[in-house]
Every structure is written in structure tokens, then in C-alpha cells.
Amino acid sequence: MPQRLAIFDTKPYDEESFREANDTYGFELTFFEPRLSKETAILAAGFEAICLFVHDLVNAELADTLYHHGVRLLALRSNGYNHIDLAATKDRLKVVRVPRYTPYAVAEFTVGLMLSLNRKLHLAYSRTKANNFSLVGLQGFDMHGKTVGIIGSGLIGSIVAKLLHGFGMRVLVYDHRVNNDLIKEIDCFYTDLDTLFRESHIVSLHCPLTHETHHLINAATIRKMRPGALLINTSRGGLIHTHDLIDALKSKHIAGAALDVYEEEERFFFEDLSHSFIDDDTLARLMTFPNVMVSAHQAFFTKEALQEIAHTTLSNTKKFFDKTPLENEVK
Ligand code: NAD
């Protein structure tokens, strides 16, 4: 009997990458377009293994429902697992994830956002489309010689550090753990958060969302930031207290923000809502600023990343069915 995997919250690109990777594994794959929710959990009935993405939120109630439907494995096709209530899945549902895939996808996108925000490429693009060739308001600054502050120097943050070091930037880093490989490769300086905030022209977030990092960027920490700093977030929306960011944009203490993630993104990101309106006043306000760029959790979205994500997810699932040790288990 073929081993079966139900994949929730799928788009055509997910189906393509999973079908391609599945040539090696031979699962019977079932693709469900809807996200996993209380209402859609019934679709999981009869599947021992289901595959979830970042907006498939599993709380205690849903964990219970899934268990009763016979589900035993949640194969996350993401690095982050903050959308799963691990206390509720403990001892009943195994959770595996994709601990790494090409970090270049997110790192390169981060630098792209930085360049766009600083040099106002997003504004220039729509201006020239409308035959407006004026440069007024489009001035940026040389990144060469400026200071970037990187919070979190793991896989992604360390590549961002290296890319920006290549631009001739002074690189400050904050992390609990010093990345010794990074220090060997480039001149960068581990420092405390206050110094990083005070000295950085650009602050870029690359740490996970945890109790400790929730709202790491808030009114108090923003006050410590250099006036006119740019803020980039390609990590998780919950790292930023969005109302405080909006206040700082209004007072011009923060000169611009590029956000690939947003605290309440689940209801919007990955969907085409162009026929509708945004009933989240915070997100709507954020998008009125010309110096704010919002992308819809797109940083990971390269061909290479999707291939690696599909392969690791199927390999994790195979190990579960074959009862071999799960090296990518989240505990
Ligand atoms: P990683 O685990 O390799 O690195 C995270 C680093 O953050 C580690 O070095 C860790 O020590 C550090 N850290 C933990 N707590 C910290 C704290 N309180 N302050 C400072 N540093 C702290 O992870 P990664 O692969 O580099 O990914 C970083 C983040 O990027 C992920 O947590 C995820 O939220 C996000 N991400 C976003 C996308 C996207 O498409 N936008 C895709 C993948 C990952």
C-alpha cells in the first residue's frame, strides 16, 4: 500500500515542487488548497501524515481533532514552528520541520529590500510607468561606509552580513551565540543591542520569534535607534510592535521600513485580495506610507528553496513511516 501524505494550504507552485521531488519517494500525495483550520480538519481524516505551512495554525483544540482523525505526523514545510502548539502535540503528534534550505533565498531578498527601500526603487518604478521622470523625493544614501546592525547571525543573518560587508558596510551583530565561522570570514563586530540600535543606519532582523524576541522592536527600543534608520524584517512579523513602528514612521524617527512579514499576516498573505479591501486598519495604515514596502512573505520563494523544502519534507515523512530516527523532529 503506498504511503500517503496530505498537503494543506497548497498553491500550484507547491504542487509542482512536491510532485517533482516525489519521483524519488513515491508517496501518494493529496493536495488540499484550504488552510488547516477547525473547519477543514476533517480533510485530514484517514491520513497518518499531513504537511502544513506557516499559516496552518495548530492550537490545542486542533491538535486534539487531528489526533482523533488518526493523524500522527505534522510535517512542516517551513523552518519556523511558532504556529504549532508544541505542548498540545507532545507525546501524540510528531512534528518535523525543514531546519534549513537555501538561506541565500531569504538573504538575497533581504538585501534587495534594503536597496529598494533606500534608493526608492518601488516609487521610481511606478513613477516612470506613469511618465513621471522627476527625481524629487527619490534620494537615497550610499550604503558603502554606513553601519548595518544584524540581529541574529544564524544561517540567513550571517549571509546578509557577508553580502553587506561586500558593499563596504560596517557590520554590527547581536546574537546570544557568536558565529565563529562568520568572524573568520569577515570583519564584523558582535555588540550589545543598545550599541547596535544606536549606531546602525539599517537594522535587519534575522532571529526567530520566541517569547524573548516577541516585540523586540517596540517604542522603547525604537527610541534607542539612530534617527533616520531603516528597518528591515524578513523574519517574523511578531518581532515588531506594529503600532509603535507606525508612530515612529509618523514622527520620522524611522525613515523607512521594508517588511516581508507582518504580525497578522495569516489573513492576507499568499492570497489575491485585489477584488476586496483590507479590514485590518494597522496593515492598511502601514501601506499608506510611501517609505514602507510590504511583500507577502516572499523572501523564501525561489526555485531552489521550493525544491529543497519539498525534498526535506518528503524525506522527513519517509523516515516517520519507515520508523527510522527523525533528525528534523521539533521537540
Ligand atoms: P537560524 O536558526 O540559523 O538563526 C537564527 C539565529 O538567531 C541564531 O543564531 C540564534 O542564536 C539567534 N537568536 C535566537 N534568539 C535570539 C535573540 N533573542 N536575539 C538575537 N539572536 C537570537 O535561523 P535562520 O535560518 O537564519 O532563519 C532566521 C529567521 O528567518 C527564522 O527564524 C524565520 O523566522 C525567518 N525566515 C523567514 C523566511 C521568509 O520567507 N521570510 C524564510 C525562512 C526563515
Q: CATH number, domain at 67?
A: 3.40.50.720
Is a pLDDT exceeding 90 seen at residue 12?
yes
pLDDT class for 80, splitting at 50, 70, 90?
confident
pLDDT at 97 over 80: yes
Residue 235 Cβ contacting ligand 1 at under 6 Å: yes
pLDDT range class, residue 314, cuts 50, 70, 90: very high
Q: What is the pLDDT of residue 170?
A: 98
Confidence of residue 277 (pLDDT cuts 50, 70, 90): very high
Tens-digit pLDDT profile for residues 152-189: 999 999 999 999 999 999 999 999 999 999 999 999 99
The set of catalytic residues is 236, 265, 297
* Substitution candidate for ligand 1 out of 76, 104, 106 with most atoms within 8 A of CB: 106
Tell me if residue 262 falls in helix, strand or coil.
coil
The finding on whether 295 has its CB within 6 A of some atom of ligand 1 is: no
For residue 331, being part of any structural domain is answered with: no
Establish whether residue 82 lines the binding site of ligand 1, counting it when its CB lies within 6 angstroms of any ligand atom: no
Going by CA atoms, what residue is nearest to atom 15 of ligand 1? 207
Decide: 176 in ligand 1 pocket, CB within 6 A: yes
List the domain range (segments joined by +) for residue 205: 103-294
CA 155 / ligand 1 centre spacing (Å): 8
Provide the 3-class DSSP secondary structure of residue 25.
coil
What pLDDT does residue 2 have? 78
Distance from Cα 10 to the centre of ligand 1, integer Å:
24
The tally of domains found in the chain comes to 2
Query: In this model, does residue 1 exceed pLDDT 90?
Result: no
**DSSP labels, 157-195:** HHHHHHHHHHTT-EEEEE-SS--HHHHHHS-EEE--HHH
The verdict on the CB of residue 106 being under 6 Å from ligand 1 is yes
Least Cα distance to 103 among 309, 331, 270, 329 occurs for 309
Q: Of all atoms in ligand 1, which is nearest to the CA of residue 174?
A: 20
Q: Say yes or no to pLDDT of 230 above 90.
A: yes
The verdict on residue 31 lying in a domain is yes
For residue 59, what pLDDT is reported?
97
| CA 287 – ligand 1 centroid, Å | 25
pLDDT, tens only, 23-63: 999 999 999 999 999 999 999 999 999 999 999 999 999 99
Hey, whose CA ends up nearest to atom 37 of ligand 1? 235
pLDDT at 325: 96
Percent of the chain with pLDDT over 90: 97
272 — pLDDT class (breaks 50, 70, 90): very high
Supply φ then ψ for residue 134, to 5 degrees. Answer: -75, 145
Q: Would you say residue 198 lies in a domain?
A: yes
Task: Look up cell 521550493; give the residue.
Answer: 306
Characterize the bridge pairing of strands 229-233 and 254-259: parallel
Q: Are residues 96 and 107 in the same domain?
A: no
Which residues, at least 6 apart from 207, have a Cβ–Cβ distance to it below 8 Å? Answer: 151, 152, 154, 157, 175, 213, 216, 235, 239
Q: Do the beta carbons of residue 231 and residue 208 sit within 8 Å? A: no
Q: How far apart are the CA of 46 and the centre of ligand 1, in A?
A: 35
Q: What is the pLDDT of residue 280?
A: 97
Tell me the residue type at 172: L
Same domain, 91 and 110: no
Q: How many whole angstroms from 175 Cα to the centroid of ligand 1?
A: 10
Q: Are residues 205 and 239 in the same domain?
A: yes
Q: Is the per-residue pLDDT at 320 higher than 80?
A: yes
Does 163 share its domain with 258?
yes
pLDDT at 161: 98
- Same domain? 108 vs 238: yes
Q: What is the pLDDT of residue 310?
A: 98
Same domain, 114 and 96: no
Instruction: Identify the residue whose C-alpha is closest to ligand 1 atom 12.
Output: 152
Ligand 1 atom closest to Cα of 234? 41
Per-residue buried b or exposed e for 22-35, using 16+ beta carbons within 10 Å of the residue's own CB = beebebebbbbeeb
Give the residues across from 231 on adjacent strands.
Answer: 203, 257
Are 40 and 10 contacting, i.e. CB atoms less than 8 angstroms apart?
no
- b vs e for 64-102, b when ≥16 Cβ sit within 10 Å of the residue's Cβ? bbbeebebebbbbbbbebebbeeebbeeebbbbbbeebb
Q: Span 13-22, mean pLDDT? A: 98
